[in-house]
Amino acid sequence: MARTKGSVGADTKTAIYSAAKKLIEAKGFEAMTLRQLAAEVGVQPGSVYRYVESKDELLQALMNQHMVSLIENWEKLEGKGDDPVSRLKAFVAFHIRYHIERRADVVIANLELRSLGEDYRADVVTKRSQYEANLRNILSDGVKAGVFPKVDLEVAAFAIIAMLTGVCFWYRPDGRLSIDEIIEVHQKLVLQGVVG
């Protein structure tokens, strides 16, 4: 088999991760084999092990990449606002836009967590909780300020994130509504849900 462009070093690792996302999204993690992955990248099957120890390690790496990027992008987002309502609207907009633009990452991070072995799962779950804490803090600040009613913050955060993440599973660029319109609808739904 001829070596593909970028089939050495960091380029190969990037190609492996990119191909893995594509294959997992299309076939599911359990159905994807490292042999298929090697063929997709254009390397010998045994070469994959130079870059990943196992399928589980590869899945954890993909999930961690997604979670680290998600956390970092939220933290550096400007213009979130100072009050809880503005911050909640900013969170809704950020979450929807980020997830729509990275559908494969979302499919893997949400649908394949069940496939991740226990040895690798804790780290990913910790990062998820760290991201979700941003929303819980916004809701908590809103409760303290008297603009949101008292609510179980963990349940509310899970419900909101599930609704927002779900958008990437049905959104189509050629659909009836633009991303901005979908964000506006969800901002209203979330605010109505927490304000009452």
CATH code for the domain in which residue 40 is found: 1.10.10.60
Output the pLDDT for position 64.
Answer: 93
Contacts of 124 (CB under 8 A, 6+ apart): 60, 63, 64, 67, 109, 113, 116
CB 73 within 8 Å of CB 131: no
Our count of domains for the chain comes to 2
Whether residues 40 and 62 fall in one domain = no
Residue at token pair 């913050």: 153
Residue 155's pLDDT band, with cuts at 50, 70 and 90, is: very high
Whether residues 150 and 176 fall in one domain = yes
Per-chain mean pLDDT for the chain? 91
Whether residues 94 and 187 fall in one domain = yes
Percent over 70 (pLDDT), the chain: 95
Whether residues 69 and 160 fall in one domain = yes
The model's pLDDT over 51-95, given as tens digits with 9 standing for 90+, comes to 988 899 999 999 999 999 999 999 999 999 999 999 999 999 999
Output the pLDDT for position 8.
Answer: 55
CATH code for the domain in which residue 182 is found: 1.10.357.10
Domain end among 52, 74, 90: 52
Instruction: Find which of 6-10, 50-54, 122-126, 182-186 is predicted with most confidence, using mean pLDDT.
Output: 182-186
Per the structure, the complete domain to which residue 118 belongs is given by 54-195
Looking at residue 64, what DSSP letter applies? H
Whether residues 6 and 58 fall in one domain = no
0.75 exceeded by pTM: yes
